[in-house]
């Protein structure tokens, strides 16, 4: 009995070959090739005493705990079982060869010199990935997902989204830190629409640039383990936007479409140790975040080129009707612009328009003014007239006359738009008691 060293090829000869083999001989060879190979044995020369069922002399071949046959005889013999050019291939990396010769090789008193055999073996790569090559019938596949054979071995790989585990065989869903930065895309539970694995702690993060708002749309089918009485006790799909939870979902009714109003969305998918639901799939899109439609605070406010929709980085300009001032708090503005910010708010609040007030009219020395309009205020379009203290003074006006109007610029102006007020000049030579002679 000899252990054949682990070589990739070799030769096995019967004892004394090519001389006739001795009688009463049992020789055993255990062929062992490296792992990842199988043994392929071929007889180059085979000459043994033929007998019925190879009772006398024989070569027995065994591999993988199975008999591959018992052989004897010589080419052309009517009895025996000559292997011919048959290839003996093991399923494993071992093959057992046993030679047995009985006490004689006489045939009708004549010694016939049987030479024995010469066999060659070689190590043939085992394609571990071929299920037909399984050593045992109930042997499990070598790889859970993908098997890759190479000479002398094989390795496994996994589907996208799965990670090969330490046993180099099984694949576990890899979804704990999935990051999405494109403007739109798809995300789903592992293996969707096939049932999702158990014991998942998936975290899908959508991170877009500021100013964008993510919209989620659930596709069909939507199926997450649930319970009729208790809300999502087994598996949960949680959606968070900017750290704030939007909702927790399970069941078979799709959540439909969700507007997150955020550029940062996290989707957590937690599963327990069992279940057979098909999972979920989301198509996400993004658009510039929207700001509220600007609305004037009063009827004197004008929003230039009002648009039906305002989004991030859009702006609007506000002005007032003639005779009104733009006011922000107590401050008068020359202009106003508001920009839609990344968080969907306007960077300034809508201002208001206040009627222009010209203030008190300039007092006229040696005269006075009176309001023409009933309201008697100093607001835009109010009117006053100046007069002098007659008969001692007379009024001298510009070409614009003595009537002044509160203008849109906040000044009192005459009919010619001039701000200079009239003057009261002395009336000369008009005594109240002129000399009148009575006596003649």
Partner 1 sequence: ILGGKSARRGSFPWQALTGIHGRGGGALLGDRWILTAAHTIFPKGALENNVSLDQLAEEANVFLGHTKVEELHRMGNHPVRRIFIHPDYNPKDEHSFNGDIALLELKYPVSLGPTVLPICLPDTTNTTFYADGRMGYVSGFGVEKNFISNDLKYVRLPAVAREKCQSWLDSKKRDIPVVFSENMFCAGFLTVKQDTCQGDSGSVFTVLDTASGRWVATGIVSWGIGCAEGYGFYTKILNYLDWIKGIVGED
Beta strands in 127-183 (DSSP E): 146-150, 153-157, 162-164, 171-173, 178-180
Chosen residue from 335, 437, 438, 440 binding partner 1 by CB under 8 A: 437
Nearest CB to partner 1, comparing residues 151 and 396: 396
Strands of 242-300 (E only): list them: 244-249, 257-259, 264-270, 281-288, 290-291
Residue with tokens 């070598």: 142
Beta carbon of residue 364, minimum distance to partner 1 (angstroms, whole number): 13
In this structure, are residues 160 and 187 in contact, taking their beta carbons and an 8 Å threshold?
no
Contact between 432 and partner 1 (CB under 8 A)? Answer: yes
**Residue number with CB closer to partner 1 (138 or 437):** 437
Site for partner 1 in 314-373 (CB under 8 A): 365-366
Give the interface segment with partner 1, choosing from 85-93, 111-119, 137-145, 432-440 (CB under 8 A): 432-440
Candidates 85, 305, 434, 440; binder of partner 1 (CB under 8 A) is 434
SS3 of 232, please?
A: coil
- Distance of alpha carbon 74 from alpha carbon 81, whole angstroms: 8
For the stretch 151-179, what's the b/e string if a residue is b when 16 or more beta carbons lie within 10 angstroms of its beta carbon? eeebbbebeebbebeeeebebbbbbeeee
Least distance to partner 1 from the beta carbon of 403, Å? 23
CB of 396 to partner 1, least distance (A): 9
Q: x/- site string to partner 1, residues 402 to 431, per CB under 8 A?
A: -----------------------xxxxxxx
- Contact call for residue 170 and partner 1 (CB under 8 A): no
Q: How far is the CB of 372 from partner 1 (least distance, A)?
A: 26
Secondary structure (DSSP) of 1-20? -EEEPS-SEEEEE-TTTTSP
Q: Please state whether beta strands 244-249 and 257-259 pair in parallel, antiparallel, or not at all (unpaired).
A: unpaired
Looking at beta carbons only, is 229 or 436 nearer to partner 1? Answer: 436
Give the C-alpha separation, 290 to 347, whole Å: 13
- At its nearest, how many Å lie between partner 1 and the CB of residue 439? 11
Nearest approach in angstroms of CB 433 to partner 1 is 4
Residue ranges binding partner 1 (CB under 8 A):
365-366, 389, 392-393, 425-435, 437
């Amino acid at each position: 009995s000899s252990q054949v060293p682990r070589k990739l090829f070799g030769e096995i000869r019967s004892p004394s070959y090519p001389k006739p083999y001795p009688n009463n001989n049992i020789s055993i060879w255990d062929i062992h090739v490296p792992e990842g190979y199988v043994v392929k044995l071929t007889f180059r020369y085979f000459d043994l005493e033929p007998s019925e069922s190879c009772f006398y002399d024989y070569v027995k071949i065994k591999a993988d705990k199975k008999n591959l046959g018992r052989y004897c005889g010589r080419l052309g013999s009517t009895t025996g079982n000559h292997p011919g050019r048959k290839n003996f291939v093991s399923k494993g990396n071992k093959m057992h060869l046993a030679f047995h010769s009985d006490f004689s090789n006489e045939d009708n008193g004549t010694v016939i010199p049987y030479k024995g055999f010469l066999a060659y073996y070689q190590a043939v790569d085992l394609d571990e990935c071929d299920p037909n090559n399984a050593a045992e019938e109930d042997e499990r596949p070598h790889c859970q997902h993908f098997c890759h054979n190479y000479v002398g071995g094989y390795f496994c790989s996994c589907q996208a989204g799965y990670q090969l585990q330490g046993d180099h065989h099984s694949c576990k869903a890899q979804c704990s830190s999935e990051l999405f930065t494109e403007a739109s895309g798809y995300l789903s539970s592992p293996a969707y629409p096939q049932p999702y694995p158990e014991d998942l702690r998936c975290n899908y993060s959508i991170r877009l640039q500021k100013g964008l708002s993510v919209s989620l749309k659930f596709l069909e089918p939507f199926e997450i383990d649930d319970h009729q009485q208790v809300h999502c006790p087994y598996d949960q799909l949680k959606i968070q936007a900017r750290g704030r939870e939007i909702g927790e979902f399970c069941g078979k009714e799709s959540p439909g479409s969700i507007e997150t109003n955020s550029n940062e969305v996290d989707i957590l998918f937690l599963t327990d140790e069992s279940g057979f639901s098909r999972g979920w799939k989301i198509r996400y899109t993004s658009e510039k975040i929207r700001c509220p439609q600007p609305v004037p605070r009063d009827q004197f406010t004008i929003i230039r080129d009002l648009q039906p929709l305002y989004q991030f980085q859009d702006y609007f300009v506000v002005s007032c009707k003639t005779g009104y001032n733009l006011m922000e708090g107590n401050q008068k503005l020359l202009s106003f612009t508001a920009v839609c910010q990344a968080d969907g708010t306007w960077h300034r609040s809508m201002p208001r328009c206040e009627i222009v007030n010209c203030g008190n009219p300039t007092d006229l020395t040696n005269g006075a003014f009176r309001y023409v309009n009933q309201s008697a205020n100093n607001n835009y379009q109010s009117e006053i007239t100046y007069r002098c203290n007659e008969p001692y003074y007379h009024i001298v006006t510009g070409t614009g006359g003595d009537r002044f109007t509160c203008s849109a610029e906040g000044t009192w102006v005459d009919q010619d738009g001039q701000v200079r007020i009239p003057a009261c000049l002395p009336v000369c030579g008009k005594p109240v008691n002129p000399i009148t002679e009575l006596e003649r």
